Amino acid sequence: MTIKLRLMLLIATGLLTALIMSLAGYLGNTRMADAVQDNDVSMTVLRNHMEADMMHDALRADVLSAMLVGLGKSTSTAAEVNSSIKEHAEHFREVLA
């Protein structure tokens, strides 16, 4: 084997190694980008779910407060309860939209 052939084989091996490493890096970055995008979608879904759950709880509390006002056992007035229900229902509709 001549020095020229050994040098050519070394260069070819180096180029092949660089190509394989570049391909592995590209595939890793592509998969990571997909995973980050999936995570972003999951976080959006979780945020929307939590927001809807909080609004559901707020509306339930408003209804219970209205029931107490109707029974005369609450310190708040019917107008306060109605405004609270309207405010929470409007926010709930915004989030759903």
Which range is most confident: 41-45, 49-53, 66-70, 82-86?
41-45
Q: How many domains does the chain have?
A: 1
- Which residue segment(s) compose the domain that 55 sits in? 3-96
pTM over 0.75: no
Q: Distance between CA atoms of 43 and 7, rounded to whole angstroms?
A: 53
In Å, how far from its chain's centre is CA 84? 29
Measured CA to CA in angstroms, residue 22 lies from 10, 14, 15, 30 at distances of 18, 12, 10, 12
- pLDDT for 97 beyond 80: no
Q: Distance between CA atoms of 49 and 36, rounded to whole angstroms?
A: 20
Nearest in space to 56 (alpha carbons), one of 19, 95, 21, 29: 95
